[in-house]
Structure 1
Amino acid sequence: MRRFFACWLLALGPLTVAQAAISVTDDTRQTVTLPAPAHRIVSLAPHVTELLFAAGAGPYIVGVSEFSDYPPAAKRIPTIGSALSLDLERIIQLKPDLIVGWNKGNPAPQLAQLEQLGIPVYKSEPYSLEAIPRSIESLAHLAGTEVTGQAAASAFRTRLKQLRETYEHRRPVTVFYQIWRAPLMTLNGTHMVSSVLRHCGGENIFAELPQLAPTVSVEAVVKANPEAIIASSGEQEDLFALWRRFPAMKAVARGNLVTIDGALLNRSGPRILDGMENLCRKLDEVRSKQR
């Protein structure tokens, strides 16, 4: 009997280890596997930091990129450089058991170097509103905080559904979404901000352009004659001085020069729904000014 029990324990050991392994698929469709929940996590982008906190993994974050300013607790975590220029030596010194990177925002060679060192790297790039709660669930699974993550993901989906049902079937409003002034830049229809616009009943006048963040001409905007022009309040100086030179444009004539909080709407994190609700309400104000 003792011999049988010993053999059973030996057989059970490898099985238990295998069951303890944690695997998820990241936003690049790559599998990330950990031997145990991650308790030393480095975040390489502000939106990633917000996703990790929403997932309940905040206490396990040991390093963040610059501008990770939400929630307030994130400001107290050591920084590892900017998203565009990572301090690899500093990251290695933190001895992370998981790195959550920004697929299109972090330098690909630096992410590859971290992977070559044997550090698991989850690459984040939510391309849709639906991908955000999935990201929260995946990160919670990697950190062993599934209960918190599932609750946050469920709350996100419920609120998103409510906002869609409230706003997306209202009268369409044509919009120019300005992300930069010199050169004049916007976003195309595949960007998440355009998805938010659609759910608010907005129509991006440059949705069909192939580039994600195309440069456009003043003449093209004037010709499209949008009903509203939207810009981020994060910029300095007068955001709309250029457009006031064209008083016949609908957006100018009707006073529909709209500012939004870029930190809410431009980050692919859970607070995007706060930005969405604010934007939807502002487009309702635009509708009320129709002449």
Structure 2
Amino acid sequence: MLSTANADDPARCAVDDRAREVCLHNAAQRIATLSPGATELTYAAGAGDQVVAVVSYSDYPPEAKQVASVGSHTRIDLEKLVGLAPDLVIGWVTGNPAEQLETLESLGMPVFYIEPRDIEGVASAIERLARLAGTEAAGQTVADNFRTTMNALEERYRDREPVPTFYQVWDEPLMSVNSEHLIGQVMEICGGDNVFGEQPRLVPRIDDEAVLAANPEAIVAGGMGEENRHWLTHWEQYPNLTAVAQGNLFFVPPSLIQRPTPRLMEGTRVLCEKLDVARQKRRGA
């Protein structure tokens, strides 16, 4: 997508997800995105042509893989990043090393922190990034489509029968999500009754015994990679678990549901369809 940024634009400001107002004299022309999610959101905002640095696993959209990598989200190659002379750095609130981002700020680089925690936060992040990049029209179109699609999915599935569901976000240690987590919110849209929804931590650590006690009707996992479903095979050793007995072990590609980006639309659609399968089996359809 062609950039609509104009170097002669007046100062533009946006509030980041640390409640800090970040202002640029001109629309950003050289953007560094320091997490795969930040990369996706910046491209979604219409600013892909302005991205000059990414981190490992920034694999979507495909053209992002051609951009210079400056390490991982947990360890940034500061010398390489500084050498690329970004005029805007997109950081991840809880994912990037705070001291490294503080070093970048001390060198005069504006750092805009993002970490969407809900559906509206994803749309808002796109709009704010578009504001800083001077790509407002493109970003607004994507943000509006995201809101419309997610609202339509909620309308479609809100009255479906609840399905007690366990979402496995990691295997060792075994981890799930609570109802406040973005994935938990997606489960709610689809009519999934999150069996660990009341846990106080966003990403609670649990064990097999806790899952067996909760006895979910469906188990959903992402796994390590887009085609790796081995996390689900672990549960087959428990044939009396309702999800196993009913054949409701479902895989959802992690990039569609574990990144707070517009692809969450597809991840939500896939999850909703999986839970509908569980409902059909319940009725013996």
Shorter-normalised TM-score: what interval? over 0.9
Deviation at 1:237, TM superposition (A): 6.7
Verify: 1:285 aligned to 2:249, yes or no: no
How far, CA to CA, are the matches of 1:146 and 1:181 in structure 2? 40
Partner of 2:238: 246
8 A Cα contact 1:234 1:261, kept in partner? no
How far, CA to CA, are the matches of 2:150 and 2:236 in structure 1? 35
How far, CA to CA, are the matches of 2:236 and 2:248 in structure 1? 11
Partner of 1:257: 249
Partner of 2:145: 155
> Which of 108-117 and 251-260 deviates more?
108-117
Structure 2, unaligned runs of 5 or more: 1-8
Give the counterpart of 2:15 among 20, 25, 35. 25
Structure 1, unaligned runs of 5 or more: 1-18
Deviation at 1:242, TM superposition (A): 3.0
Verify: 1:170 aligned to 2:160, yes or no: yes
Verify: 1:100 aligned to 2:75, yes or no: no
How far, CA to CA, are the matches of 2:261 and 2:173 in structure 1? 27
Deviation at 1:241, TM superposition (A): 3.2
CA displacement 1:155-202 (0-9 Å, x = unmatched) = 111111111101122111111111222221111222100000000100
Partner of 1:213: 203
Partner of 2:4: none
How far, CA to CA, are the matches of 1:241 and 1:274 in structure 2? 24
> Which of 237-246 and 38-47 deviates more?
237-246
Deviation at 1:243, TM superposition (A): 1.7
Deviation at 1:121, TM superposition (A): 0.5
Verify: 1:66 aligned to 2:24, yes or no: no
CA displacement 1:225-247 (0-9 Å, x = unmatched) = 10001111435573233322221
Could you state the TM-score of these two structures normalised by the residue count of structure 1? Answer: 0.91
AA partner of residue 172 (structure 2): A
8 A Cα contact 2:35 2:55, kept in partner? yes
AA partner of residue 30 (structure 2): R
How far, CA to CA, are the matches of 1:75 and 1:66 in structure 2? 9
How far, CA to CA, are the matches of 2:87 and 2:171 in structure 1? 41
Identity of aligned residues (%): 45
AA partner of residue 31 (structure 1): E
Deviation at 1:68, TM superposition (A): 0.6
How far, CA to CA, are the matches of 1:234 and 1:181 in structure 2? 9
Partner of 1:10: none
How far, CA to CA, are the matches of 1:85 and 1:228 in structure 2? 37
Higher-Rg structure is 1
Give the counterpart of 2:80 among 83, 90, 93. 90
AA partner of residue 183 (structure 2): V
Partner of 1:267: 259
How far, CA to CA, are the matches of 1:211 and 1:34 in structure 2? 36
CA displacement 1:206-243 (0-9 Å, x = unmatched) = 11112222211211111111000111143557323332
8 A Cα contact 2:170 2:223, kept in partner? no
Equivalent position SS for 1:184 = coil
AA partner of residue 22 (structure 2): V
How far, CA to CA, are the matches of 2:60 and 2:269 in structure 1? 19
CA RMSD in angstroms comes to 1.3
How far, CA to CA, are the matches of 1:237 and 1:158 in structure 2? 31
Partner of 2:176: 186
Q: What is the number of residues matched between the two proteins?
A: 273
8 A Cα contact 1:24 1:33, kept in partner? yes
8 A Cα contact 1:43 1:63, kept in partner? yes
AA partner of residue 191 (structure 1): H
How far, CA to CA, are the matches of 2:160 and 2:239 in structure 1? 27
